């Protein structure tokens, strides 16, 4: 059994607010929402970071990013853009050593952006509503 939190989410050992899932990736809300809809896209195959991807896995994982990003934009007319962020290695602020891509909806210029960001706490119900709203916008 893996101690990796993302492996546990993939195997449904622990709950998550899933917005998209197929045979290659699972996408779910980050518990530390930088902005409403902050989503993590995680390959189901355990790879530590970008350096462990082969071309096939990279193509498969990254080909899912646009459809999830479009769903984030569609979920709320106030979404003006999306940051896509992937940290690789401790020095690059990777904190969970299972590769994952952050999709962070941006609502206004004043939100600012940096590698250290302020997160906001949301209730289980609020996260469930955000996840459901994104999931219904993911193209099949």
66-116 per-position pLDDT tens digit = 999 999 999 999 999 999 999 999 999 899 999 999 999 999 876 666 545
Domain that includes residue 24, residue range: 5-112
17 is catalytic: no
Tell me the pLDDT band of 140, cut-offs 50, 70 and 90. Answer: low
Task: Report the pLDDT averaged over residues 12-18.
Answer: 97
Closest C-alpha to 106, from 117, 91, 97: 117
Phi, psi of 120 (to 5 degrees): -125, 140
Which residue of the set 100, 120, 124, 137 is catalytic? 100
Cβ proximity of 40 and 30 under 8 Å: yes
Give domain status of residue 126, yes or no. no
Give domain status of residue 47, yes or no. yes
Task: Report the pLDDT averaged over residues 48-64.
Answer: 97
pTM, two decimals, is 0.86
Q: What is the CATH number of the domain that holds 97?
A: 3.30.428.10
Taking the C-alpha atoms of residue 85 and residue 97, their distance in angstroms, rounded to an integer, is: 15
Instruction: Compare 25 and 115 and report the one with higher pLDDT.
Output: 25
pLDDT 10s digits, 42-51: 999 999 999 9
Provide the number of structural domains found in the chain: 1
Give domain status of residue 118, yes or no. no
């Amino acid at each position: 059994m893996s101690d990796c939190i993302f492996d546990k989410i993939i195997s449904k050992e622990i709950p998550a607010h899933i917005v998209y899932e197929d045979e290659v990736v699972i996408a779910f809300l980050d518990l530390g929402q930088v902005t409403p809809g902050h989503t993590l896209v995680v390959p189901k195959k355990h790879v530590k970071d970008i350096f462990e991807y082969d071309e096939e896995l990279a193509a498969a994982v990254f080909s899912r990013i646009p459809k999830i990003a479009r769903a984030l934009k569609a979920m709320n007319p106030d979404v003006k853009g999306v940051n896509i962020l992937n940290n690789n290695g401790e020095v690059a602020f990777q904190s969970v050593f299972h590769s994952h891509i952050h999709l962070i909806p941006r609502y206004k210029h004043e939100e600012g952006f940096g590698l250290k960001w302020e997160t906001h706490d949301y209730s289980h119900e609020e996260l469930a509503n955000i996840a459901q709203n994104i999931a219904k916008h993911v193209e099949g």
